[in-house]
Amino acid sequence: MQNAVDRFLKYITFDTQSSSDSNSFPSTKSQLEFAKILLDECKEIGLKNVELDENGYVTALLEENSDYENKIGFIAHMDTSPDFSGKNISPRIVKNYDGKDILLGNEKILSPSEFPALKNYVGEDLIVTDGRTLLGADDKAGIAEIMTAMEYLIKHDEIKHGPIKIAFTPDEEIGRGCEKFDVEKFNCNFAFTIDGGQIGELQYENFNAASAKIIIHGKSVHPGDAKNIMRNSILIANKIINEFPQNETPEKTDGYAGFYHLHNFSGAVEKTVIEYIIRDFDEKKFDERKKFIEKLVANAGKNFNCQIDLQIKNQYLNMRKKIDKKIISIARQAFEKSGINPIETPIRGGTDGANLSFKNLPCPNIFAGGHNFHGPYEFIPINSIKKAVEVIVNIARL
């Protein structure tokens, strides 16, 4: 199990940030370089049919040693978030955490007063950042856990299992992780993404998601001669924004509550662009949210006598209706064998598993063990890494 920790500390030395500004696939060359490292390691530990395709997907097979019929898969992503630097990560292990503030460096403090989940890990060893970068547990912890579990199963042939496929994917953080994933070639009955947060997370439902871009075309003239002529697209945008429900935003919702999130605003008198993401677990409410924006934009165009363009794009759907209860039952049993109480919470976001589920590969999500992803306060307890390996092995066993 220590191998999982060693692998994780090795993997995070590779800067694999993805980039939404790139049109290539994968979006960054560094992901391909890391993929080659994983390719060689898969071969070294004895996996079969090891491949790195032209799109940067690494796949491999652990051959069956029994007559188990189900073909199962485990998936993790190679990229780290573009939201914060992942270059020259310098981790530190905090031994026997005492429950107090942790001085990270770079004037950053990881404090239980701000991050109360820390209190759950008093007495454990934690891996933290030095305050300059993210850590990369999302999702290099998942990769390390899958690789270690496969190595363990290879060395312990007495553990009977069916065929197991693994895949390491690029560009998950920018929503392209499954874009070119060949489900038919992967050829599994179901799979698990090892990409969740805290120990115990078992997730099989997520937001329905869409994006909305509203483009307001104003009319710019000299302000001294503007009466009854100028149409200031910035002010029109402001009017539109104020029509959205003020309590249905990310900072005011949790649990199963959906929201509208204004995440980008740019403009001048002549043209303003506002961008929203739309989220809801309920499919009917999700459709109602999109229709609300369509009606709002149509009315604004009439009221302000200007052209307003609207582009709504679906991003992913709630995987719940694609997940068989038997799959979740297997995961629950695996957690129980590992002495873990499952935390079955909805994903207030997206996951590769959602898109894969709608490509006919049911794919719930299991914890990788980290906290506070995408920033310098990210940390992961070493015990959570080891327990994730156990869960993977127990799923194979079951």
Active site residue 288: no
Active site residue 79: yes
Spatial distance between the Cα atoms of 63 and 154, rounded to a whole number of angstroms: 9
The candidate with the shortest Cα–Cα distance to 232, out of 184, 177, 272, 182, is 272
Give strand pairing partners of 93.
127
Q: Where are the alpha helices (DSSP H) in the chain?
A: 2-11, 29-45, 137-155, 183-186, 233-242, 283-303, 325-337, 352-357, 382-397
Q: Which residue in the block uniquely carries the two structure tokens 């993805």?
A: 18
Considering 15, 41, 79, 139, which one is annotated as catalytic?
A: 79
Distances in Å between the Cα of 192 and the Cα atoms of 214, 327, 362 are 36, 9, 8
Neighbours of 263 (CB within 10 A): 10
Considering 139, 172, 201, 378, which one is annotated as catalytic?
A: 172
Give strand pairing partners of 212.
276, 312
Q: Which residue in the block uniquely carries the two structure tokens 């509203």?
A: 214
Spatial distance between the Cα atoms of 30 and 38, rounded to a whole number of angstroms: 13
Q: Please give the positions annotated as active site.
A: 79, 172
